[in-house]
Amino acid sequence: MRILFLSHYFPPEVNAPAIRTHEHARRWAADGHQVTVITGVPNHPRGELFPGYRNRWLQEERVDGIRVIRTWMYLTANQGFARRIASYVLFMVTAVLAARRAGRPDVVVATSPQFFCGLAGMLVSRLKRRPFVLEVRDLWPDSIVQLGQLRQPTLVRMLEWLERRLYRSARGIVVNTGAFRGHIERCGVPGERIELVYNGIDPDLFHPRPPDTELRRRHALEGRFVVTYMGTLGLAHGLGTVLDAAERLRDRPEVLFLLIGDGAERERLERDLAARGLENVRILGLRPRGEVPAWIASSDLLLVTLRDLPVFSTVVPSKIFEFLGQERPVVLAAPRGEIRGLVEEAKAAFVIEPERADALAGAVREAMDRPEEAAARAHEGYLWVKSHFVRDVLARRMEDFLARVAGGGP
């Protein structure tokens, strides 16, 4: 099967869309499929080119058996609504033009989180007269509206119309949460055209391992109870609550919060941190993907946080699978919804209300004072992830769905 995949993000970028696309595509290539990915030059989240790349019209490389065609990008940091929209729209145009190099595939796939990439996939599929599959990883425009980034009613209605048009244009839709399936069905798409493929882990990379003593020594973590948030420092995650919890834990000098990542909220968090004079919080910035397992193993407790907004009751953060796949204790702070229900049923983590500093501080104290309980939850989480969220199985589920669509199926 010849698969043409359009994605705004791709490694060496390390956000969830880039990782999911790469992990699936490399497995399809290993199974003998011809996989081409059209993406931009790597620059997320700071809008700065990664070393070894130039921002030119087109460049190609081979990555794990995948043909990667990279287009010119309007480089902008992952902040500022107007600039980000301009970057998305321009990538939509350049991706369609770059598809002329890709030959005629059996199926065209495009992934969100922003649906201008999906619109590019729809256009490419029509130009090449091949079936189109849309992968939905985020609900646009719901998420940007609830985050306060878009308030103009006319523009919101236009984007909602585009959203419905995009869903209905796809012969198949892949979602990574069950809640997204319900939303798309309410937009008029038959359920048989929708396939649920959760995020997951590569168990060769994410598995139980001892702490990295050299990493802990290098960052002066010996003797500290390390509580780590790892991922995008963005508007969706309510990270001010972490600083609030750190203030409440000043009486426990062994506690150290680490924020590992980058994003739109980093500068605000750094200013807030300096203003409060908190010495039990460090912001380490973005780390290479290859370091992530060592940081997970070297943390005593890991945080998965979401804002207390209705749209985040529908999401399933991919990082929780990586944390639990390494059998590490986790605090999940999320609205009542899919991920919270799954984790509570599996007894896999400490679950608290979102954006509640007292609850977060209390969960940290509980994990410190009851290590046997924390270890038991981590073990249940490990068994749960190993049983249900292994990337090989999930990638082949999506592969089977693409084959059905390419063969004239839903």
Q: Domain limits of the chain? A: 2-200+390-406, 213-388
Q: Report pLDDT for 25.
A: 97
- Which CATH number, 3.40.50.2000, 3.20.20.10, 3.30.200.210, 3.10.129.10, labels domain 213-388? 3.40.50.2000
Domain 2-200+390-406 has CATH 3.40.50.2000: yes
* Domains 2-200+390-406 and 213-388 belong to one CATH topology: yes
Q: In the sheet that 255-260 helps form, which strands lie side by side, from edge to edge? A: 281-285, 255-260, 225-230, 301-305, 330-333, 350-352
Return the number of other C-beta atoms located less than 10 Å from residue 220's C-beta.
10
24: CB partners within 8 A, 6+ apart: 391, 394, 395, 398, 399
Q: DSSP readout, 42-62?
A: S-TTTT-PPTT----SEEEEE
The pLDDT, as a whole number, for residue 84 is 82
Q: Are 41 and 30 in contact (CB under 8 A)?
A: no
- What was the pLDDT predicted at 259? 97
Please choose, from the candidates 301, 303, 315, 327, the residue with its C-alpha nearest in 3D space to the C-alpha of residue 385: 327
| pLDDT of amino acid 114 | 75
Residues of the chain with pLDDT under 50: none
Q: For residue 83, what are its two tokens?
A: 């600039």
Residue 4 φ then ψ, to 5°: -110, 120
**Spatial CB neighbours of 229, under 8 Å, sequence gap ≥ 6:** 237, 239, 242, 257, 258, 259, 260, 261, 302, 303, 305
- Which has the closest alpha carbon to 114: 262, 208, 6? 6
Q: What is the pTM of this model?
A: 0.89
